């Protein structure tokens, strides 16, 4: 088996929620074979978002980014599977949607860097920190063998 079994933090940003893209984004991760192990909708506080984006403090776009992220609820998710961090980022596309290939989430659904509808952890280390920040209560453990759920 190539690739590592990993967990990544994927977030649908307020514009993705408002535009009704939650189902489509989740569908792509399910279709690819990733397993959803945590999901919640949350209106994040400015303080919480500043922790999430602590690395970007000082960037000129930081205040606008926090305002955008606090403008409505986000969908916070943890996905698990082979190479989830790197492949998750490939599925999202480039930070700037105009540089995202068609077929990626950003390449198919958005245009502006400041309205790029989704977030994905950029390393296994960041994923661990982001999962702990957004899911301090922990995540679910379950088996996904289909037989039990299709046949009585
Ligand atoms: P994300 O964390 O949201 O997945 O994005 P990323 O790693 O691809 O990009 P990062 O550099 O960490 O930037 C975080 C988010 O800030 C907004 N941004 N705006 N106006 C700008 O030049 C600019 N640059 C970045 C984007 O929403 C980006 O996703």
Structure tokens, 89: 């980022």
Nearest CA to ligand 1 atom 28: 95
> Distance between CA 24 and CA 43 in Å, rounded?
21
> Distance between CA 135 and CA 38 in Å, rounded?
8
Q: Please tell me if the CB atom of residue 62 comes closer than 6 angstroms to any atom of ligand 1.
A: no
Distance in Å, CA 148 to ligand 1 centroid: 41
Active site residue 119: yes
What's residue 1's pLDDT?
A: 52
Q: Would you write out the chain's pLDDT as a tens digit for each of its 152 residues?
A: 567 889 999 999 999 999 999 999 999 999 999 999 999 999 999 999 999 999 999 999 999 999 999 999 999 999 999 999 999 999 999 999 999 999 999 999 999 999 999 999 999 999 999 999 999 999 988 887 777 878 88
The atom of ligand 1 lying closest to the CA of 120 is: 4
What's residue 130's pLDDT?
A: 98
The CA radius of gyration of the chain, in Å to the nearest whole number, is 16
**Mutate-to-test residue for ligand 1 from 52, 95, 109, highest number of ligand atoms within 8 A of CB:** 95
Instruction: Check: pTM over 0.90? Answer yes or no.
Output: yes
Q: Please tell me if the CB atom of residue 103 comes closer than 6 angstroms to any atom of ligand 1.
A: no
3-state secondary structure of 37: strand
What's residue 142's pLDDT?
A: 84
What's residue 146's pLDDT?
A: 74
Of these residues, 119, 121, 134, 135, which one is catalytic?
A: 119
Q: Render pLDDT for 24-63 as a digit per residue (tens, 0 to 9).
A: 999 999 999 999 999 999 999 999 999 999 999 999 999 9
Q: Contact 13/68 with Cβ under 8 angstroms?
A: yes
């Amino acid at each position: 088996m190539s690739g590592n079994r990993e967990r990544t933090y994927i977030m649908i940003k307020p514009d993705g929620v408002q535009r009704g893209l939650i189902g489509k984004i989740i569908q792509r991760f399910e279709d690819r074979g990733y397993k959803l192990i945590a999901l919640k909708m949350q209106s994040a506080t400015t303080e919480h978002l500043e922790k999430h984006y602590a690395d970007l403090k000082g960037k000129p776009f930081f205040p606008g980014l926090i305002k955008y992220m606090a403008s409505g609820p986000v969908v916070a998710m943890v996905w698990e599977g082979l190479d989830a961090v790197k492949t998750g980022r490939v599925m999202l596309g480039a930070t700037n949607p105009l540089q995202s290939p068609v077929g990626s989430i950003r390449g198919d659904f958005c245009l502006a860097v400041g309205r790029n509808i989704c977030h994905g952890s950029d390393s296994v280390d960041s994923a661990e920190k982001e999962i702990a920040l957004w899911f301090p209560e922990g995540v679910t453990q379950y088996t996904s063998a289909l037989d039990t759920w299709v046949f009585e």
